[in-house]
Amino acid sequence: MASKVFIIGFFCCWAFAYSQKNTPTVDKIILLNGKEQVIDSLSILPGSLNCYLKEVEVPRENYAFDYVTSTLKFYAPTFDTLRITYVRINQKLTPSYQKFDVSSIQQRGQSNNFQLQADNTDFNNFFGSSEIAKKGSVSRGISFGNQQNLGINSTLNLELNGKLNDRLNILASISDANIPIQPEGNTNRLQEFDQVFIQLYNEKLKFVAGDFWLAKPQGYFLNYRKRGQGITHQYQTTFGKGVVYFQTSAGLSKGKFQRQIISGVENNQGPYRLRGAENEPFIIVLSGTEKIFLDGRLLVRGQEFDYTIDYNTSELVFTPKNLITKDVRIVAEFQYSDQSYTRSLLQQSITYKTENTWVYLNYYREQDLKNQPLQLSLTSANKTTLSQVGDSLSLATLNTLDSVGYFANQNLYKLIDSLGFDSILVFTVHPDSARYRATFTKVGAFKGNYVLDKTTAFGPVYRWVEPVGNQPQGDYAPLQRIITPKRRSMITVGIEQKIGQKFTLVQEISGSENATNLFSKKDLGNDWGIGSLTKIGRQWNETSKGWINKSSGELEFLSATFSAIEPYRKVEFDRDWNVRGLPFTGNQWFAVAQHVCQHEKIGTVSLRGQHFNIGNNYQAQRLFSEGSLKGTRLRADWDASALNSLRGKQNTFIRHRANIEFRGKKLLIGFKDDQELNLRDTLTGGNSSSYGFFDYQFYFENADSSKNKLRLFLRDRLDYKPTVLGIATAARGTSLGGETVVETKKGNRFLSTIAWRKLTPIDTALLKLTPDQSLVGRLEYSGRSFKGALVLNSYYELNTGLEQKRTFIYLEVNAGQGTHTWIDYNNDGVKDLNEFELAAYVDQANYIRVFTPSDEYQKTFGTEFNQSLFWRPELIWNKKTGILKVLSLLSNQFRLRSARKFNDWKMEELLNPLRAEISNADLISSTYSLRNTLFLLRTSSKFNAHYEFNKALNKTLLATGFDGKSVTFHSILARWNILPSLSVKTEIQSGLKSSEVDYTTGRNYQISYRQGLIELAYQPTTSYRIYGEVKLNDKRNNPVYGVSELQGKELSAGVKYNTAQKGSLQLDIKYLNLKYVGINQGAVVFEMLETLQPGSNFTWSVLWQRNVSKNLQVNLQYSGRKPANRGVIHNGGMELRAFF
């Protein structure tokens, strides 16, 4: 039937939906692909975008949209078809280089399908000041219906920038939107859309209320880079011959510092999980606070640079520019959101600066407010328990068993006695016995009496296992480790002084506090510590020879109880001195004597003698030299050290790194090596912790890399371990690779990075390794050809790493505020995982689906391939004749995005980006989207048509299996403007929707469908439009998954009326007649009927918008539906919005 409708429409009339001369409204269907999508080549009117899933508006907080670049990004994408409507601006606006346009962060119900906004040329007069630029809006609204409770929503988004008066400026970003996510960490520059603040400033004053950053103050010991929320004030004034700088900050600390040392894993680029300072496994990293070091080198964030980071899941992934092996040293420093207690922050700094002197006083304090826990409910008995443990934090555990009564939306247990054991928790859903709630903690293998049994819609369920011989057989226990409230503070006083023309003097004294349990008065004696630094330097110049000589000496003292706010020494200080991970305690003395020779043309050479002492446990001397010498064509850089330490036994640590380059006219040849010999104790074979390695490489580069770059390298590493006979070779790693950057005069650009490594164990008795090979790489190309007729962009990446096994739960929210609905298919009252569906209408959206992170990962080998091609032959063949003229009427747009991960190295899978099948057992996870559109007369305003092929697939790895969805369809669409005011559109589409899961039952289906439609639209002016549409559908499920067939007929009509600067009115009504035969429940029924019922169904909607003034707008919305054999369901809403 659908094909008949198409044939009639194709030969009788062609459709062009409608067009507006000034602000054309676009209404189209797209498929989500999990990535950023550019939905239009032109810019889009702010506030006009609306997204619908099965006619249900998607909440604004579920996606981000850039109106300038027309880029849409969903945070948790679904792979059903998505309908979007927006108003196109007939030009491409220049991008705005501001942090974020907070007025685009809106909630459900803040705008409608066809929104007109008043001209903002007079918006700056809204506050009566033309010197303050303002933009944003404030709104208040309500929503209601006979199937949902009354809902109230409000938003405030305001940006200010300008002069308050002649002496004071203002900069503000104000919003009441609570954004629970961090920006993406895959770019070098972040959009900090969670910053809310008011800043008043001039050349001497800066006052900020709201979110702020604190940077390291003047001095040595006190080091931090903090994000806070409260107030901060900076002021400077002249005093005598100098300037005094004041800074005071008070408020709440948004993050807690953590330094994590990560061991690299062979053939694993990530993700590497970042954990909290209390070993919390699942944290949220504060965006922009991280510093990632690789072998002591600070890396740069960004997909085109060194690493990417997911701030919300705290996962770190390295790009192919850095091949991760067992040998690399990774250190991550970051701030994370601590959810234990509200944490106060106080900071003060006073600095006096003259021409030759700096004098400063700094104070900093962070303190957990022990009576304001965020996720804990501590009773008086709990606090008493915590007060008794003192600094023995491992004893701070609480039993989580709680008698709460019956609640339907959580996992509950009953208490029984069994096999002579009492107080055993057993999961149950019966209201008469489900009385207890418990939080389980993983305590380690054979240390608990419970194991993970299954996962319901509300989280994991645990089962008791009988001990054997009083030995527990599980790894979970119903207890919770309590993070005790802490306080850390530091005060520093110092002076930096230039004495005469040659000498400098630095002196600083510091006091620190580290209280680890504010509930307890025990163990207070070790909370306070002191530190001091004295440094003297001398410089003299040999002007006749061009040399500058600098000599210095310094002495640093730390008491055994000194505790830094954040590490102030170099990131590999502990490794340089062979004390990483060693539990040494005692007073520390650190002395340095150094001399540096520097010449502008020759280079720099330095020699440093150092002494380090930790109590009676450790004494060491170290000689260190580094330098950089350069000649006409030769350059040499090096650093070398020799460490002799005593920690019970004599230890020796010798290091050497060098880089030598010879620059020819066209070629640069280099040699780089890294050697270490670390003799930590006597040579006792495999029981010794001593080691050594020799890592060297040859590399070749083109001499002039200003535009085009070519670099090749060959690298070899030998690992040594001690034996009873001496040092022997234990393993060998060989690597080779290269990097290319080519740019042409026409703007075409090609980049490539590739690295291969082979690990060969030589003596597995010394190093327990298995042979392994790694291959990572990236290719990029962007360019235009044939006078711009062909635009091609390509990206291919080959990677190895891990894929997280996810779990998810459903949380009940207020009606209309969720995304999913629950349907009790088996009528047992239990909310099973296979009984939740995407809500088609607002009144059904009572649940949200939340993915919960896990510590389970699976090894993967993956590829990422992005390809876009746009062929526009009219640019070169428009004036040709014959076959070229005919071909110029056609154009083609192709887009492919594929990110796939496999469980094994299969070259045929990795090199074929077009293959994507959920049923492929080797495919672990996949995000795949392919779209090809062939246009006929694409730019014609009279007649145009296109054929589209679309395929989207998503496969997610779960802890209990996988979840897969795919949509594939072919579509032919044609438009014809019969008259300037009369247009016809016709479309035919056939496709296949599939769902394949193995974590539950009743969710597998393969629905083949065909549909056809004809739409007739009458639009005499840009202010008025009326349309009518006929649509036929046919859906059939694969009998293997249950016989289900549907035939549907849809009749719809509507009218839109809008008046510029005044408002708009839109009326729509639809009649649906559905004939369904097959199984009567399950996911396949929901997908076929889309929450409607067999028989006659009606839906309707009314949208009215009125611009009361240039700055005030009223929106009224009403929708309803009448399913067959059921009552009418009404939904409505009203909103008042003011624009600035």
Tell me the per-residue pLDDT of 845-903, one tens digit each, with 9 for 90 and over: 788 888 777 888 999 998 999 999 999 998 899 888 889 988 999 999 999 999 999 98
**Interatomic CA distance for residues 709 and 701, integer angstroms:** 7
> Which pLDDT value is given to residue 34?
59
**pLDDT value at position 1098?**
94
Q: Which tens digit of pLDDT belongs to each residue from 539-592?
A: 887 766 788 899 999 999 999 999 999 999 999 999 999 898 887 789 999 999
Mean pLDDT within 106-126:
41
Q: Is residue 48 over pLDDT 80?
A: no
The pLDDT-based confidence of 102 (bands split at 50, 70, 90) is very low
Whole-angstrom Cα distance, residue 503 to residue 1102? 81
pLDDT at 987 over 90: yes
pTM attached to this predicted model = 0.80
Q: State both tokens at 925.
A: 């996870």
Least confident residue range of 84-88, 340-344, 600-604: 84-88
Mean pLDDT, to the nearest integer, of 817-840? 78
Mean pLDDT of the 1001-1010 span:
89
Where is mean pLDDT largest: 530-544, 675-689, 1066-1080?
Answer: 1066-1080
Pairwise CA distance, residues 177 & 102, whole Å = 9
Give all strands (DSSP E) within 600-633, no chain letters: 603-614, 618-630
pLDDT digits (tens, 9 = 90+) for 265-322: 999 998 999 999 988 888 999 988 999 999 999 999 988 899 999 998 899 999 999 9
Query: What are the pLDDT digits (tens) for 517-527?
Result: 888 888 788 89
Q: In whole numbers, what is the pLDDT of the chain averaged over residues?
A: 84
- 232 falls in which pLDDT band (50, 70, 90)? very high
Q: Which of 455, 450, 452 is nearest to 411 (CA)?
A: 455
- Mean pLDDT over 999-1007 rounds to 85
Gap between the Cα atoms of 644 and 651, Å rounded: 6
d(Cα 713, Cα 755) in Å, to the nearest integer?
A: 9
Instruction: Tell whether the model's pLDDT for residue 253 goes beyond 60.
Output: yes
Q: Which amino acid makes up residue 33?
A: N
Residue 329, pLDDT above cutoff 90 = yes
pLDDT in tens, 608-657: 999 999 998 899 999 999 999 998 899 999 999 999 998 778 899 999 99
- Statement: residue 504 has pLDDT above 50: yes
Residue 150, pLDDT > 90, answer: no
Q: For 384, phi and psi rounded to 5 degrees? A: -65, -40
Spatial neighbors of 462 by CB under 8 A, at least 6 apart, are 425, 427, 438, 440, 450, 451, 452, 453, 476, 478
pLDDT digits (tens, 9 = 90+) for 751-778: 999 999 999 999 988 888 899 999 999 9
Alpha-carbon distances of 40 from 72, 975, 1074, rounded to whole Å? 10, 19, 35
Q: Which tens digit of pLDDT belongs to each residue from 422-436? A: 788 999 888 888 888
**pLDDT reported for residue 186:** 65
* pLDDT exceeds 60 at position 66: yes
Q: How confident is residue 978, by pLDDT bands cut at 50, 70 and 90?
A: very high
**Residue 980: beta bridge partners?**
none
pLDDT for res 5: 36
- What gap in Å lies between CA 672 and CA 594, rounded to an integer? 26
- pLDDT value, residue 907: 78
**Given the DSSP bridges, would you call strands 256-263 and 857-871 parallel, antiparallel or unpaired?**
unpaired
Cβ neighbours of residue 1021 under 8 Å, at least 6 residues apart? none
Among the listed ranges 42-51, 151-160, 367-376, 614-623, which one has the minimum average pLDDT value?
42-51
Cα Rg for the chain, rounded, in angstroms?
A: 34
pLDDT at 2 over 50: no
Give the model's pLDDT for residue 303. 86
How far is residue 472's CA from residue 469's CA, in Å, rounded to a whole number? 8
Q: Among 241-255, 466-480, 553-567, where is mean pLDDT lowest? A: 466-480
Percent of the chain residues topping a pLDDT of 70 = 89
Residue 942 clears pLDDT 50, i.e. is over it = yes
Residues sharing a CB contact under 8 Å with residue 963, sequence separation 6 or more, in sequence order: 955, 956, 997, 999
| pLDDT for 54 | 59
Residue by residue, DSSP assigns 636-663 as EEEEEEEEEEESSSEEEEEEEEEEEEEE
Provide the token pair at 17: 């939906």
- Lowest pLDDT segment from 26-40, 782-796, 1022-1036, 1120-1134: 26-40
CB-based contact 348:360 (threshold 8 Å) = no
Residue 345 near residue 249 (C-beta atoms within 8 A): yes
What span, in angstroms and rounded, lies between the C-alpha atoms of 484 and 277?
A: 12
Kindly provide the residue ranges of all beta strands, DSSP E only, lying in 457-546, ordered along the sequence. Answer: 459-464, 476-477, 479-481, 487-499, 503-515, 528-542
pLDDT for residue 17 is more than 50: no
pLDDT-derived band at 4 (thresholds 50, 70, 90) equals very low
Residue 626 contacts residue 606 (beta carbons within 8 Å): yes
Confidence (pLDDT) at 181: 53
Cis amide leading into 913 (omega within 30): no
pLDDT surpasses 50 at 684:
no
Copy the structure tokens of residue 232: 């901060």
